[in-house]
Amino acid sequence: MKFYKVRDMDFLMDDNFPRPLVALAGNPNTGKSTIFNALTGLKQHTGNWPGKTVSLARGTFYHRNVKFCVVDLPGTYSLLANSLEEQVARNFILFNRPDVMLVITDATCLERNLNLALQIMEITDRIIVCVNLIDEAAKKGIYVDGDVLSKELGVPVVATAARRGIGLFELKEMIFKVYSGKVKPSPRKVNYGEELEKAIGELVPRLENTFSGRINPRWAALSIISGDYSIEDLEELVKIRDESREESAYGYSFFSQLPGNRGLK
Amino acid sequence: MDIHFFHSSRETGDSNDISHESTDVKDLIVEKIYEKAESITRKAVRYDRFREDLDKKIDLLLTSRVTGILFMLLLLGVIFWLTLIGANYPSQLLAKVLFGIQGFLESFLMSIGAPEWVNGFLVTGMYRTLAWVVSVMLPPMAIFFPLFTFLEDLGYLPRVAFNLDYFFKRAGAHGKQALTMSMGFGCNAAGVVSCRIINSPRERMIAILTNNFVPCNGRFPTLILLASLFIGGLAPNLGWLLASLTVSGLVVFGILITLLVSKLLSSTLLKGLPSSFILELPPYRPPHIGSIIIRSIYERTLFVLGRAVAVAAPAGGIIWLLAHIKFENQSLLAQAAAFLDPLGRLMGLDGYILMAFIAGLPANEIVLPILLMGYLAQGTMISPDDFTSLKELLVNHGWTTLTAINTMLFSLLHFPCATTLWTIRSETGGARWAVCAAALTTAVALLVCFITASLYRLVMWVIF
């Protein structure tokens, strides 16, 4: 296992992670590390101390003769890049484009956890949602219907109770299936409303050209429109944003130029 | 990154423009995501004999305006009380052992015929400072950090931010500043870095500039020791209670100053309206005691101690040299102290104390050892393994309760350590903000100490 000290984001850019690459994302305290350990057979401790250097734990496991590389991303509540952890998680998914993106959710408070899953669905399609802690949820009288959830999200869902080893084999199977293309997730994305979707639709073709598939254009468009500061990290994105602004079409103040902008809320 | 912030600010005119305009869209996006998450949950999750969450009931108590604040203050007091009581004995034991080794080292150096100055530099200078830092810092940290980590794992810290949000909003600052401030209790440099979680450049700057007003680990031992020696010593029976009340009081005072200076900054230099944010209160989780102890000792205590030791050893050596290089029949240290003495006296301190704070710029941990070395270099020798003789030493050099209080206040409010200043420089992209932070904090420290000294003298003059 290797720990990467994140001082700047540079190390995320050079693609030195062995493939196939599986990334684990999820809210803090969802048992993400338990699943990581169960998959890779490693013991690891990670602290959730904002301000401390973010470390990424990395391990491997074999399933059906394929050696998967697993990276445990920092636990976050969102990918809106408000903190270093969120930036690291987001940039990793953006730039390293994992072959399988595993989103660990807590069955006892699924709603909050789905926010993150929905945001990750904006960046990548190859998602598996893992509903963990189903044993704890059952104790509290909460039951998650995996089939309904899978249909609503458009991605495969696996229920687990990682601490008791329940559902781990199924999880590995699903990782293999998504990796090998036997299961093709097609996330049902959030509809942001007519006005925003129109703006996104206009930006996407241009971004598609620039990034030629390296970065999800819909995500990039969303970030530009929402004036996400953290995209200052991504020089190419900034360039496009600024060009767009010169044509007085989009940019930070796109919406403030529209009459009735404040009424959007 | 910051340079970008300010460029874009200038383009749109006002530093608040961007955050407010884009917040609308960002809010909308977040809102849509939440809506979708809610509708999916409604379809996919079934609740059976589901009872009202215990969390919600606890939160009702811990985050209400009155009981929430009261509970916070109580918790603060209890934490310091436990730390003070628990750290006292191990500290003395450690000091006995470590200072016992000093004798061996000295006789060893003598036996191999090392000159006296080598002995002084290595043992009296470097080793003794090191032994001091370890014995005074290690026990309180080994108690304080696990307690702090416990609260963190429990999920209490976001509730602190929630409780304080109102006050920070009133001060024209960002509610998340409560979180960055909490980080400052660990280490101010870490606190300054954590200000990245605040999006608006204006509010971020306020949080960065005021982070130093909460005492970090390097300063807690100084506060704890002085509080137990001087304030705790006032009432022998209630000593521990009084001392922990004093430290808690200092922390609360630091928070008040944080709010006051934030208000000042937001109505003058960094004008603007506070922006809103979404704070999620995570569920309470029973923490794993084992992992707390491992993490807090390994990742925090030893890390901070290591940094302190790395600075303390060379600094101790250098200060020893300064105390023993004579110029016109007076050591350089004594000359510096004499130069600072008038200013120190004015604020109820003395020249040596001010000089110790200045020499302690690399790390706040070494302020007290430097001060003691300065006093000891004048010829008085004490056995340093006993903390009561420490008090004697200080009292012999003219310390009163006022001196102790003002040293604690100055420690709480004075300029940030070199690491923090450097961090401010790199986080804000310019040395001028680091200079600004140092000037601001020092001005506040001087002013507060001057006020307390004048008040104390006035009261003394009226009574006697």
Residue B3 has pLDDT above 70, yes or no: no
Nearest to B32 among A47, A50, A193 (CB): A193
Residue B435 has pLDDT above 90, yes or no: yes
Mean pLDDT for the stretch of residues B120-131 = 82
ipTM of the prediction: 0.81
Residue A232 has pLDDT above 80, yes or no: no
Residue B409 has pLDDT above 80, yes or no: yes
- pLDDT given for residue A90 in this prediction: 84
Of the ranges B8-22, B185-199, B287-301, B398-412, which one carries the lowest mean pLDDT score? B8-22
| CB contact A258 to B (< 8 Å) | no
- Measured between beta carbons, the chain B residues lying within 8 angstroms of A119 are 33
Closest CA in chain B for residue A139: B50
Residue A44 or B234, more confident: B234
Per-residue tokens: B225: 């020791």
Show which of residues 60-119 on chain A sit within 8 Å of chain B, judged by CB atoms. 77, 80, 82-84, 108-112, 114-115, 118-119
Binned at pLDDT 50, 70 and 90, residue B414 comes out as very high
Tally of CB atoms within 10 A around B32: 16
- Measured between beta carbons, the chain B residues lying within 8 angstroms of A229 are 1, 4-5, 18, 199
Mean pLDDT for the stretch of residues A237-250 = 54
- pLDDT given for residue A179 in this prediction: 93
- Measured between beta carbons, the chain A residues lying within 8 angstroms of B186 are 49, 51
Q: Which of A9-18, B56-65, B122-131, B398-407 has the highest mean pLDDT?
A: B398-407
- Cβ partners under 8 Å of residue A200, min gap 6: A192, A218, A221, A222, A225
Residue A248 has pLDDT above 50, yes or no: no
| CB contact A148 to B (< 8 Å) | yes
- pLDDT given for residue A168 in this prediction: 92
- Measured between beta carbons, the chain A residues lying within 8 angstroms of B24 are 255-256, 261-262, 264-265
| CB contact A190 to B (< 8 Å) | yes
- Measured between beta carbons, the chain B residues lying within 8 angstroms of A264 are 24-25, 28
Closest CA in chain B for residue A231: B1
- pLDDT given for residue B13 in this prediction: 32
- Measured between beta carbons, the chain A residues lying within 8 angstroms of B43 are 145, 148, 152
B283–A108 C-beta distance less than 8 A:
yes
Nearest to B183 among A50, A77, A152 (CB): A50
Residue A146 or A48, more confident: A146
Closest CA in chain A for residue B299: A47
Binned at pLDDT 50, 70 and 90, residue A256 comes out as very low
Q: Is B225 exposed, middle or buried (0-12, 13-18, 19+ CB in 10 A)?
A: buried
Binned at pLDDT 50, 70 and 90, residue A82 comes out as low
Can you spell out the DSSP letters for A80-95?
A: S--SHHHHHHHHHHHH
| For chain A, percent of residues with pLDDT exceeding 70 | 71
Rounded Cα distance, A225 and A253, in Å:
8
A192–B32 C-beta distance less than 8 A:
yes
**What domains does chain A contain, in order, with CATH numbers?**
3-180 (3.40.50.300), 194-264 (no CATH)
Per-residue tokens: B219: 């300063």
Residue A6 has pLDDT above 60, yes or no: no
Question: Considering chain B, what is the average pLDDT of its residues?
Answer: 80
Distance from the B37 Cα atom to the nearest Cα atom in chain A, whole angstroms: 6
| CB contact A53 to B (< 8 Å) | no
Q: Which of A118-122, B25-29, B65-69, B319-323 has the highest mean pLDDT?
A: A118-122
- Measured between beta carbons, the chain B residues lying within 8 angstroms of A141 are 47-51
Binned at pLDDT 50, 70 and 90, residue A257 comes out as very low
Per-residue tokens: A171: 């999880």
| CB contact A227 to B (< 8 Å) | yes
| CB contact B184 to A (< 8 Å) | no
DSSP character at residue A166: B
Residue B433 has pLDDT above 80, yes or no: yes
Binned at pLDDT 50, 70 and 90, residue A131 comes out as very high
Mean pLDDT for the stretch of residues B112-131 = 82
Binned at pLDDT 50, 70 and 90, residue A15 comes out as low
Residue B394 has pLDDT above 80, yes or no: yes
Q: Which of A220-234, B132-146, B284-298, B342-356 has the highest mean pLDDT?
A: B342-356
Residue B384 has pLDDT above 60, yes or no: no
B37–A141 C-beta distance less than 8 A:
no
Q: Work out whether the CA dihedral A45, A47, A51, A56 comes out positive or negative.
A: positive
Residue A67 has pLDDT above 60, yes or no: yes
| CB contact A47 to B (< 8 Å) | yes
Residue B27 has pLDDT above 90, yes or no: no
- Measured between beta carbons, the chain A residues lying within 8 angstroms of B51 are 140-141
Binned at pLDDT 50, 70 and 90, residue B380 comes out as very low
Residue A69: in which H helix or E strand, if any?
strand A66-72
Per-residue tokens: B292: 């707390």
pLDDT digits (tens, 9 = 90+) for B154-168: 878 778 888 888 888
Q: Is B51 helix (H, G, I), strand (E, B) or coil?
A: coil
User: Torsions phi, psi of B12, nearest 5?
Assistant: -95, 0
Q: Is A23 helix (H, G, I), strand (E, B) or coil?
A: strand
- Measured between beta carbons, the chain B residues lying within 8 angstroms of A121 are none
B40–A114 C-beta distance less than 8 A:
yes
User: Torsions phi, psi of A106, nearest 5?
Assistant: -100, 120
Q: Which residue stretches of chain A are H helix? A: 10-13, 32-40, 84-96, 110-123, 134-140, 146-153, 168-180, 194-211, 217-226, 235-246
Nearest to B44 among A29, A145, A196 (CB): A145
Angle in degrees, CA B186, B189, B190, rounded to 5:
55
| CB contact A262 to B (< 8 Å) | yes
Q: Work out whether the CA dihedral A130, A102, B292, A51 comes out positive or negative.
A: negative
B196–A141 C-beta distance less than 8 A:
no
Distance from the B164 Cα atom to the nearest Cα atom in chain A, whole angstroms: 18
B152–A141 C-beta distance less than 8 A:
no
| For chain B, percent of residues with pLDDT exceeding 90 | 14
Residue B448 has pLDDT above 90, yes or no: yes
Show which of residues 137-156 on chain B sit within 8 Å of chain A, judged by CB atoms. 149, 152, 155
Binned at pLDDT 50, 70 and 90, residue B449 comes out as very high
- pLDDT given for residue B276 in this prediction: 58
Residue A52 or A82, more confident: A82
Best to test chain A binding among B16, B45, B157 (most A CBs inside 10 Å): B45
Can you spell out the DSSP letters for B359-370?
A: HTTT-GGGHHHH
- pLDDT given for residue B440 in this prediction: 93
The domain segmentation of chain B, as residue ranges, is 24-463
A145–B45 C-beta distance less than 8 A:
yes
Residue B319 or A172, more confident: A172
- pLDDT given for residue B8 in this prediction: 28
Give helix B239-267 / helix B157-170 axis angle, nearest 10°: 50
- Cβ partners under 8 Å of residue A196, min gap 6: A225, B25, B28, B29
Of the ranges A16-30, A210-224, B83-97, B237-251, which one carries the lowest mean pLDDT score? A210-224
Residue B410: in which H helix or E strand, if any?
helix B401-413
- Measured between beta carbons, the chain B residues lying within 8 angstroms of A111 are 37-38, 41, 45
